[in-house]
Structures are given as C-alpha cells and as structure tokens.
Amino acid sequence: MNQGFRTQRDAPLRGRNTFGVTAHAPLWIEVTTPEALAGVLTWPEVRDEPFLVIGGGSNILFAGDPQGAVISLRARDIRIVEQSDQHAVVRADAGVRWHDLVQWTLRQGLNGLENLVLIPGTAGAAPIQNIGAYGTEAGEFVHAVESMDPATGRVRRFRQAECDFAYRDSRFKREAGRHLIVALELRLSWRPRLRLNYAGIAQALEAAGIDSPSAQDVADAIAGIRRAKLPDPERLGNAGSFFKNPIVPTAVAEALQERFPDLPVFAANRPEQRKLSAAWLIDACGWKGHRTGDAGIADSHALVLVNHGQASGAELLDLARRVADSVQQRFDVMLEPELRVIGAVW
C-alpha cells in the first residue's frame, strides 16, 4: 500500500459483508490516505461509473453484484484534537472500527458512547444512518463530519447541525453518492451522564452487584445484553435490524394500540408522530424463527434476518419482502429496510 491504495479485480465480497452472502466486485480498492482517495476518484472506472463505499459491510445486503468499483477506506487513526476541563473532541479516521473507538474513548475516561458499544462497522459509516442503541444516537455526540466530494475531491466539514441527523437517517444517507466520509469528530464529556433507563441496563448492573456504575460498567452490561440477544455475525450471518421501526402519525399509533394493547409505542422525534416496534409487528405475524432454505428470521429477535449458511442475497431479500407484506396486510403499516440493498430495488 505504499501509494496509499491497493486494488483487486473480480474481488469476492463474501467475507466483506456480515450477512456472508456471495457477491463480486469488478474492482476492489483499499485506500489509506485522503490524497490517495482523491487520486482514485479521478480514475475513469471510478469517475465515470457508479461506485460503492464500504465499511464493515454490516448494514448492506448484496442482492446482486455491485455494478462498479467498491472502495474501502482503511485509515485508522484516533486522537484527541481539542480539550477543556469538561469536554474533549475525539477525531477518528473513517476506517476505525466503531467498537474500538468506543473502547478507546472509555479508556481515556471520556463518557457518552457507552450505550453504543459492540455495534459492528466503522466510524465512517456511523453518521450515515446515525447509529443508535439503548436510548442513545451517535449524532448526539457528533462535533463534525469530514466528507470528500467525489466530483471534486474536495473535503468539506459538516458541523453537527448541518448533518440533519434523524432516526436512522442523516443528510449523508439521503445524499448517497455525494459524500465519502473520511473522518468523524465526536465531542465527549469527562463527566459521566449515564443513561440507565433503557431495556434491561439497570437490571444487568444490579445482577452484577454494581450500584454506582462507571461508563465502562454500563458498556460491559450492554455488551452482555447484546451478546445474549443478537446473533454473532461470525457464527450466523446477519446485519442486525433489517427494518427500521416505523414512524406513524400519533392517531394511527393510538388506533393500533386500541386494537393491539401489547403493541409497544415510543416517542418519535416529532410530537405528532410515534414510533412502533417493528420487532413486535413481525413477531405478531409469526415470523420469529422462520426458515426458508438458508434464509431465516433469528429465534432470538424478530427484526434480524439471518443467513444459515448458503442463502443468497436475493433469497434474503425475498424473505424480507414477504415479512413486510404480511405486516402491511395485518396492520396496514409499511416496513422499510434499515440497511442498504445493493443490486436490487426494495
């Protein structure tokens, strides 16, 4: 990689997506420096063809082969770039593994990312869908996102307010193809502000005998809960939640809750809207543990589609469509994929 990049033609992608489905990239390009990336963007097969940026491949379903080059950003530096008595700004290159970044910040004594522990993928992808878990979203801590414009090779800096973060959404997701995120800066606090009132955290800490937890204790407790609930992609291919929790008008949520009193309903970002539990809707349609060939729904979580071995991306997509159709028919609620589908239109 002495020029800052490495290429491979007809590159297998099976080991490069957490579903573990077979696909091939006509050209695979690993890039380690912004300068090399700017150069790669001028190559005709990148400049003139649609290309895909990939991080850890944990939020992608290859329902077919990508049409053009696949670019993987490999720079992996993490450092503190600004600090005061109260806060520090941590800068991570796009290729840093998100979980490593969380652990690094906790080791420095910084607080904020503890509830986002063990989410697979890279720092560069985190702002794309504003990753979230256990009552926290990455966007809350974003100080700035640096993104290279593929058309010009210029790096632009977006402050938090310019990122338009929303539930599993951001301007980077809405403007796909216009941003190559090269670095992420997070503003974290030296003082703990723990969020423990979410699904099982307090109970897990109590079970471990911890009554005044540190951020690391919270991260460890959440890691334990996640390991018990979510299948490990190393053993059973999956991409975490396949669908977003649907956001509906409050009146629709209330009407559904009258018919189905057990349906979990959460606050949404806007007061006139509510968020429904997609897992509950799917479970109510009887899908948990379902299997068609090697494409299935996890036993432990109705939102997680799994590859039992040799399922193709197209088979997983077909199953996802059947799940969404059944939820639509029974509840008149439309499910949308959380992940990006390549090689097919949802």
Ligand X SMILES: Cc1cc2nc3c(=O)[nH]c(=O)nc-3n(C[C@H](O)[C@H](O)[C@H](O)COP(=O)(O)OP(=O)(O)OC[C@H]3O[C@@H](n4cnc5c(N)ncnc54)[C@H](O)[C@@H]3O)c2cc1C
The residues annotated as belonging to the active site are 168, 241, 338
Instruction: Mark the segment that binds ligand X (CB under 6 A) among 83-91, 210-218, 236-244, 254-262.
Output: 236-244
In this structure, which amino acid lies at residue 48?
D
Please state the closest distance from residue 84 (CB atom) to ligand X, in A: 29
Rounded CA-CA distance 282/335 in Å is 10
Of 70, 180, 303, 323, the residue at the interface with ligand X (CB under 6 A) is 180
Please state the closest distance from residue 127 (CB atom) to ligand X, in A: 9
Of 56, 139, 213, 313, the residue at the interface with ligand X (CB under 6 A) is 56
> Exposed/middle/buried for 86, CB within 10 Å: 0-12, 13-18, 19+?
exposed
| Best CA proximity match to 316, nearest among 331, 296, 339, 332 | 296
* Contact track, ligand X, 135-174, x by CB under 6 A: ----------------------------------------
The token pair that represents 319 in the structure block:
């199953």
Please state the closest distance from residue 337 (CB atom) to ligand X, in A: 11
Of 233, 296, 313, 337, the residue at the interface with ligand X (CB under 6 A) is 233
User: Is 313 an interacting residue with respect to ligand X (CB under 6 A)?
Assistant: no
* Contact track, ligand X, 239-278, x by CB under 6 A: xx--------------------------------------
Instruction: Mark the segment that binds ligand X (CB under 6 A) among 33-41, 123-131, 270-278, 294-302.
Output: 123-131
φ/ψ (deg, to 5) at 143: -90, -45
Of the two residues 47 and 330, which places its CB atom closer to ligand X in the complex?
47
The token pair that represents 226 in the structure block:
């996640």
Please state the closest distance from residue 153 (CB atom) to ligand X, in A: 14
Please state the closest distance from residue 59 (CB atom) to ligand X, in A: 3
In this structure, which amino acid lies at residue 202?
A
Instruction: Mark the segment that binds ligand X (CB under 6 A) among 122-130, 188-196, 248-256, 264-272.
Output: 122-130
Of 143, 179, 187, 275, the residue at the interface with ligand X (CB under 6 A) is 179
User: Is 91 an interacting residue with respect to ligand X (CB under 6 A)?
Assistant: no
Write out the residues near ligand X by the rule CB under 6 A. Answer: 18, 52-60, 73, 94, 119-122, 124-126, 128-129, 131-133, 179-181, 230, 233, 238-240, 340
